[in-house]
Chains A and B, each alone.
Chain A
């Protein structure tokens, strides 16, 4: 398995930053994926409010599609229970904490929002602790 060079990671990251900057500059919106997804699914929205969110999710998938196939080996046989627990925790957590890696980590820190800095430090720490326990003591 080839590891992506940091330059690839850096280039991808810059693209994500540009994407967030465009959405803020033109539409005045935060490119936070969990917020966009959950507002679309669970909150009553007007047509225009729904429209750009649907467009964003469609574009997100399409943008990824154009870059396929991926170079890495697909993970197989990963625990279904871990995937379920993960989905539930990510869903509950991003809703309660009002954001995920994109909303808090990329947009919020860019705006120097205190809440986002605290959220990002917290979810990074929780992620590191989780993987450490998973790999060192369980897996």
Chain B
């Protein structure tokens, strides 16, 4: 129960952050990726702000042997940098640029721009299912 409450608190903050920062505006995301065109740099502050927090907090958090409400830290098992990682990230970047949606903002757009979400989200799920068949 504790862990569910933490997941809820954490994700409420996450969702609020995505809307406040305007990451949920796909046109703005594309403007941010339009480095050689009419570049809108503001979304660099979203990732900058988020990473600044995680870089500092992660060091302190991982000094603990275990998380506060769990038996261990569930970290990524894989550490190797391989072709699959680069291929996957390239495909993700391609898709991100094509619409301006990454998964979180794509999900939130179910209530912001449902006309696009009804097309994007099924494709996202089918894509995930296809990727799952090739993922280790």
Contact = CB atoms under 8 A, between A and B. Distances in A.
B89 A9 contact: no
A46 interface: no
Interface in B73-110: 73-76, 78-81, 84-99, 101-104, 106-108, 110
A114 B16 CA distance: 29
Contact of B68 (A25, A58, A102): A25
A96 B22 contact: no
A54 B121 CA distance: 17
B88 A84 contact: no
Nearest to A116: B76
A56 B5 CA distance: 9
Contacts, number: 496
Contacts of A10: 21, 45-46, 48-49
Interface residues on B, range: 35 or more
Given A8-B21, A67-B19, A101 B102 contact: yes
For the residues of B in contact with A, the DSSP-based class is helix
A8 B33 contact: no
Interface of B: 2-28, 30, 33-37, 40-55, 57-58, 61-62, 64, 66-76, 78-81, 84-99, 101-104, 106-108, 110-113, 115-116, 119-132, 134-135
Interface of A: 3-31, 33-34, 37-38, 41-42, 48, 51-53, 55-68, 70-72, 74-76, 78, 80, 82-98, 100-102, 104-115, 118-120, 122-132, 134-136
30 contacts: A6-B42, A7-B45, A10-B46, A13-B48, A13-B50, A13-B53, A15-B21, A16-B14, A18-B53, A19-B17, A26-B2, A26-B10, A29-B74, A33-B103, A64-B16, A72-B25, A83-B116, A87-B122, A93-B89, A95-B128, A95-B132, A96-B88, A96-B131, A101-B96, A113-B79, A114-B79, A114-B81, A130-B93, A131-B37, A134-B97
